[in-house]
Amino acid sequence: MRLPQEIIRAKRDGRTLDPAEIAAFVEGLTEGRVTEGQAAAFAMAVFFRGMSLDERVALTRAMTGSGQLLRWDLPGPALDKHSTGGVGDTVSLALAPMVAACGGFVPMISGRGLGHTGGTLDKLASIPGYDVAPDLDRFRRVTREVGCAIIGQTADLAPADRRLYAIRDVTGTVESLDLITASILSKKLAAGLNGLVMDVKSGSGAFMADRESARALAQSIVSVAGGAGLPAVALITDMDAPLASAAGNAVEVAYAVDYLMGRGREPAFHTVTLALAAEMLVLGSLAVDVSEATAQLETALDSGRAAEIFGRMVAALGGPVDLLADPGRYLPAAPIVRPVAPGSAGIIQSVATRVLGLAVIGLGGGRTRPQDGIDPAVGVTQLARPGDAVGPDRPLGIVHARDEAAAEQAATALRAAYRVGEAAVEPSPPILEHISS
């Protein structure tokens, strides 16, 4: 019998774990024999000591095999996208119906917020009635009938990851390349996909703040996925500024609805969403190249087909049938809405994007403990980006808060996050690198 504490000690001391040790620890995590403290200690040991490629593969396989494995019988490819997370990263809500409108099927299993980043699941949970944890039969049915279904990780799929994921969020181990790789791919492999596109963020609002770390993670994901038989590519995208101008939960759903309905398509968000979705269509052999895929996606947006599919998905999973027509009727709204003026007029030189994410948590829009609840109404909107001119008529952003004290605290954080000057600024390109096997 391999005791959890001995496996932890071995990794703490820098020894390479064999597949049997990793499998034993994951089995104990799944069955509850590994305590929360032991799971946290294991995560910290891996964070500091790292894992070899073989260890990563073993951990991924063990976590994949800790629960049920889905098999699909669909008239098209099962495709998915995963992001390492950032601030204003609302892409999944728009991308899934766009890909579905082009013939793909997107059974997307998403997570809650990690650290300073928002989670797709928390955003969808702000829609009244939306079932973020349906049983697998409903998940299968909605995916087949609508073309996409975005849900949370169920107890049946990769349950070992579900437990470790929550512990990583509150133990300072979110950024571990090894744990990120295993966490992402265990869920995706269990979901029975035909192709995966990875969005690895790099910049001040990313877990992998520097390009080298982002590249290492992208290569790790692509290598481990390929070794497990899952075709994958990765894009490294910019997170030196919020991707969308909204950060929060309900405010990001509203942003995605506006995007799908054509009421607002900000250039950086549009570029990243199209690029990721196009790679998915190419992986699924639904387009011969990215150029053809992009044209298909633009048509899906402009025709209203993608918006229609999003509305059908929401309704099929228990949400309101007319969310697209009147989102303000259903999405929760904060009682305090306050513009945040800069200290002086000028041009945004840079953004400490992580600070903006932490400001959302401070408002109540994120967690500091796994059991914490979230206020879906709070957040920030109309966030400025580098190169934007700000002043009396153009705030840094608009705070949506539950009370005056929280609003003031968030306003202080926004002013601290932005550096304003006089020089013109050329924004970073949204897509930084393409990684394939």
Q: At CA 354, angle to CA 45 and CA 435, rounded to 5?
A: 70
Length of the chain: 437
Residue written as token pair 């064999």: 18
The share of the chain scoring above pLDDT 70, in percent, equals: 97
Of the residues 61, 80, 89, 178, which is catalytic?
80
Q: Where are the domains of the chain?
A: 4-50, 79-327, 333-421
Q: Inform me whether the pLDDT recorded for 1 exceeds 80.
A: no
81 is catalytic: yes
Q: Three-state DSSP class for 15? A: coil
Q: Report the distance separating Cα 143 and Cα 157, nearest Å.
A: 16
Q: Report the distance separating Cα 247 and Cα 398, nearest Å.
A: 10
Give 114 or 197, the one with higher predicted confidence.
197
Which helix (H) or strand (E) covers residue 421, if one does? strand 418-421
Of the residues 60, 84, 120, 428, which is catalytic?
120
201 is catalytic: no
Of the residues 11, 56, 82, 123, which is catalytic?
82
Which helix (H) or strand (E) covers residue 37, if one does? helix 36-49
Q: Indicate the average pLDDT of the chain.
A: 93
Q: Report the distance separating Cα 291 and Cα 271, nearest Å.
A: 13
Which helix (H) or strand (E) covers residue 399, if one does? strand 397-401
Over 178-202, what HEC string results? HHHHHHHHHHHHHCCCCEEEEEEEE
168 is catalytic: yes
Of the residues 11, 56, 61, 81, which is catalytic?
81
Q: Which of these, 7, 22, 92, lies nearest to 54 by C-alpha position?
A: 22
Residue 261's pLDDT is: 97
CA 434 to chain centre: 18
Per-residue pLDDT tens digits for 233-261: 999 999 999 999 999 999 999 999 999 99
CATH code for the domain defined by 4-50: 1.20.970.10
Q: In this structure, what are the phi and psi dihedrals at residue 248, rounded to the nearest 5 degrees?
A: 155, -150
Whether residue 146 contacts residue 313, with contact meaning beta carbons closer than 8 Å, is answered with yes
Per-residue pLDDT tens digits for 345-368: 999 999 999 999 999 999 988 876
The share of the chain scoring above pLDDT 90, in percent, equals: 81
Residue 337's pLDDT is: 98
Of the residues 56, 61, 187, 305, which is catalytic?
187
Q: What is the largest CA-CA distance in the chain?
A: 67
Per-residue pLDDT tens digits for 255-265: 999 999 999 99
Of the residues 30, 64, 66, 83, which is catalytic?
83
Residue 411 pLDDT level (bands cut at 50, 70, 90): very high
- Here the contacts of 367-376 (C-beta below 8 Å, separation 24 or greater) are 367/112, 367/113, 367/169, 367/170, 368/170, 369/170, 370/166, 370/167, 370/169, 370/170, 374/113, 374/122, 374/125, 374/249, 375/334, 375/402, 376/122, 376/125, 376/126, 376/248, 376/249, 376/250, 376/331, 376/332
Q: Which of these, 114, 100, 102, lies nearest to 201 by C-alpha position?
A: 114
Q: Could you tell me whether strands 232-238 and 431-436 are parallel, antiparallel, or unpaired per DSSP bridges?
A: antiparallel
83 is catalytic: yes
Q: In this structure, what are the phi and psi dihedrals at residue 367, rounded to the nearest 5 degrees?
A: -115, 150
Whether residue 95 contacts residue 277, with contact meaning beta carbons closer than 8 Å, is answered with yes
Per-residue pLDDT tens digits for 23-33: 999 999 999 99
Q: Candidates 3.40.50.620, 1.25.40.10, 3.30.70.890, 3.40.1030.10; correct CATH number of 79-327?
A: 3.40.1030.10
Residue 277's pLDDT is: 98
Per-residue pLDDT tens digits for 276-321: 999 999 999 999 999 999 999 999 999 999 999 999 999 999 999 9
Over residues 2-31, mean pLDDT: 95
CATH code for the domain defined by 333-421: 3.90.1170.30
Whether residue 411 contacts residue 338, with contact meaning beta carbons closer than 8 Å, is answered with yes
Q: Report the distance separating Cα 208 and Cα 175, nearest Å.
A: 7
Residue 405 pLDDT level (bands cut at 50, 70, 90): very high
Domain 333-421 in the same topology as domain 4-50: no
CA distances from 433 to 19, 217, 243, 244 (A): 33, 13, 16, 20
Residue 285's pLDDT is: 98
Q: Is 87 left (phi over 0), alpha (psi -120 to 50) or beta?
A: beta
Per-residue pLDDT tens digits for 94-152: 999 999 999 999 999 887 765 666 688 999 999 999 999 999 899 999 999 999 999 98
Q: Report the distance separating Cα 84 and Cα 125, nearest Å.
A: 20
Residue 176's pLDDT is: 87
Per-residue pLDDT tens digits for 153-190: 777 788 898 889 888 878 888 778 899 899 889 989 99
Of the residues 112, 162, 163, 188, which is catalytic?
188
Residue 102's pLDDT is: 98
187 is catalytic: yes
Q: Report the distance separating Cα 28 and Cα 377, nearest Å.
A: 38
Q: Could you tell me whether strands 232-238 and 148-152 are parallel, antiparallel, or unpaired per DSSP bridges?
A: unpaired
183 is catalytic: yes
